[in-house]
């Protein structure tokens, strides 16, 4: 009987094993996860879960009974420590699993502040898993001082939750603007104004010198000497692909675990999917950090393990929820040369359209699902549009699809 072992019980791992069974795979499936709970959604952790609006069981991607009912051997609280490629065996906390195909869905890990500047003080958190959310949840009491380090989406979402709960929130970003790595100045301006309206103090071009405290963090000193009172801090300075296991096994690493167009690593019996994997794209390599990519890539790998021979073609989309604003992003904006703005039909709604020359690359739509839907359909179809049409409020965007 053919054996498939999947390391990583997150969105990609869960999607992959479900797809295998749904596609008629009849062999043995083993899913190994480090956490003590079944695979769950991560995006709500920094939003609805922290706000107490969603319970743990509602985070689960599938009921725990799903795995047993579908003959999936789910091992929780286990850490895979080594891969023996020659013998095709995985060792995880003393247990040994044989495989015909191995899938690495190990995800990513958050970057930490160095201990030398106070990163190891108590009440300094990163947001990646359920344990992180549970650890920081008691800190969210009205009137306390929160420092958010990093002005990406994770940092901004945490700031929004804290502001809604009545905390005093300061966010420091060492770059020139929030969201600088991932979005246009127009999108940055939209969210800076949104947070300012909710009382968040956003400090851009503000380097963190150190966190101060004996046991727990008590204050922060910025690069210009400014000191801020801090009851707790959330660090959102990016993530890195979890490649340690793959590196130790001698697999090729290139901005993550390097896979071919079908998801196969440099070892023909080992595959990778999700945040941890980089794949061929536009003459280079791409690694996407998103739930849709984790699902789509994992399902493609599952089909290819069964012999489909499909090339993985990403259709990137992302989202972020902050206050009452839902940001929906379609496409990839890398290399854009122009951004045009269109106001939405409702107050506060707007969309930002990225072009490279005449080619439409991406759309950021804030509380404007119509703009998102139309932009995504154009991008997925490889079509473009005239920027002047986008900015003309008299023209119905739906006409772009004809």
Q: Give the least confident one: 43-52, 96-105, 225-234.
A: 43-52
Tokens at residue 325, please? 């604003």
pLDDT in tens, 175-229: 999 999 999 999 999 999 999 999 999 999 999 999 999 999 999 999 999 999 9
- Confidence band of 345 (pLDDT split at 50, 70, 90): confident
In this structure, the number of other CB atoms found within 10 A of the CB of residue 357 comes to 10
Kindly report, residue by residue over 278-305, the tens digit of the pLDDT: 999 989 999 999 999 999 999 999 999 9
| Banded model confidence at residue 51, pLDDT cuts 50, 70, 90 | confident
Reported as a single tens digit per residue, the pLDDT across 80-99 is: 999 999 999 999 998 999 99
Fold of 112-235: FAD/NAD(P)-binding domain (3.50.50)
What is the DSSP code string of 64-130? THHHHHTTEEEE-S--EEEEETTTTEEEETTEEEE-SEEEE---EEE----GGGTTTSBTEEE-SSH
Phi then psi for residue 240, to 5 deg, are -125, 145
153 burial via Cβ count (<10 Å: 0-12, 13-18, 19+): buried
Per-residue model confidence (pLDDT) at position 401: 87
Q: CA-to-CA distance for 128 and 151, rounded, in angstroms?
A: 16
User: How does pLDDT run across 117-157, given as a tens digit for each residue?
Assistant: 999 999 999 998 999 999 999 999 999 999 999 999 999 99
Average pLDDT over residues 266-283: 97
The CATH fold of domain 3-109+240-305: FAD/NAD(P)-binding domain (3.50.50)
Same topology between domain 3-109+240-305 and domain 112-235: yes
User: Top-level CATH class of 324-401?
Assistant: alpha beta
Q: Is the pLDDT of residue 50 over 90?
A: no
Angle separating helix axes 153-164 and 185-197, nearest 10 degrees: 20
pLDDT at 402 over 90: no
- Stretch (H or E) spanning 240: strand 239-241
pTM: 0.95
Specify the pLDDT at position 138: 95
Percent of residues in the chain assigned helix, strand, coil, to nearest 5: 25, 30, 45
As beta bridge partners, residue 83 has 90
Q: Could you tell me the residue ranges of all domains in the chain?
A: 3-109+240-305, 112-235, 324-401
Q: Does 52 score more than 90 pLDDT?
A: no
Question: Which pLDDT value is given to residue 117?
Answer: 97
How far is 182 from 235, CA to CA, in rounded Å?
A: 17
Q: How far is CA 6 from CA 10, 28, 37, 149, 395, in A?
A: 10, 11, 16, 34, 50
């Amino acid at each position: 009987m053919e054996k498939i072992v999947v390391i990583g019980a997150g969105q990609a791992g869960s999607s992959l094993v479900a797809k295998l069974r749904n596609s008629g795979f009849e062999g043995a499936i083993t899913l190994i996860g480090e956490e003590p709970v079944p695979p769950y959604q991560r995006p709500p952790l920094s939003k609805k879960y922290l706000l107490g609006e969603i319970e743990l069981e509602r985070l689960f991607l599938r009921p725990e009974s799903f795995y047993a009912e579908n003959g999936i051997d789910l091992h929780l609280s286990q850490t895979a420590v080594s891969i023996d490629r020659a013998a095709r065996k995985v060792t995880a906390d003393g247990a040994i699993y044989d495989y015909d195909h191995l899938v690495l869905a190990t995800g990513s890990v958050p970057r930490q502040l160095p201990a030398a500047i106070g990163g190891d003080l108590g009440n300094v958190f990163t947001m990646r898993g359920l344990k992180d959310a549970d650890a920081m949840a008691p800190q969210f009491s009205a009137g306390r001082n929160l420092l958010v380090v990093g002005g990406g989406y994770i940092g901004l979402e945490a700031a929004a939750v804290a502001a809604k709960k009545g905390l005093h929130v300061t966010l420091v970003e060492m770059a020139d603007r929030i969201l600088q790595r991932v979005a246009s100045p127009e999108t940055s301006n939209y969210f800076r104004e949104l947070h300012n309206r909710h009382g968040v103090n956003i400090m851009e071009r503000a380097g963190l010198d150190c966190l101060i405290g004996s046991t727990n963090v008590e204050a922060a000193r910025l690069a210009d000497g400014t000191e801020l009172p801090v009851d707790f801090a959330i660090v959102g300075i990016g993530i890195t692909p979890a490649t340690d296991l793959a590196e130790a096994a001698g697999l090729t690493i290139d901005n993550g675990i390097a896979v071919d167009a079908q998801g196969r690593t440099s070892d023909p019996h080992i595959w990778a999917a999700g945040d941890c994997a980089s794949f061929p794209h536009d003459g280079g390599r791409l690694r996407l950090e998103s739930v849709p990519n984790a699902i789509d890539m994992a399902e493609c790998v599952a089909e290819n393990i069964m012999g489909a021979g499909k090339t993985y073609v990403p259709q990137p989309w992302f989202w972020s929820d902050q206050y009452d604003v839902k940001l929906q992003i379609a496409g990839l904006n890398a290399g854009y040369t122009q951004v045009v703005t269109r106001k939405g039909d409702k107050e506060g709604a707007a969309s930002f359209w990225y072009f490279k020359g005449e080619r439409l690359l991406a759309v950021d739509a804030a509380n404007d699902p119509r703009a998102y839907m139309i932009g995504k359909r154009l991008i997925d179809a490889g079509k473009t549009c005239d920027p002047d049409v986008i900015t003309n409020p008299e023209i119905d965007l739906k006409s772009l699809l004809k």
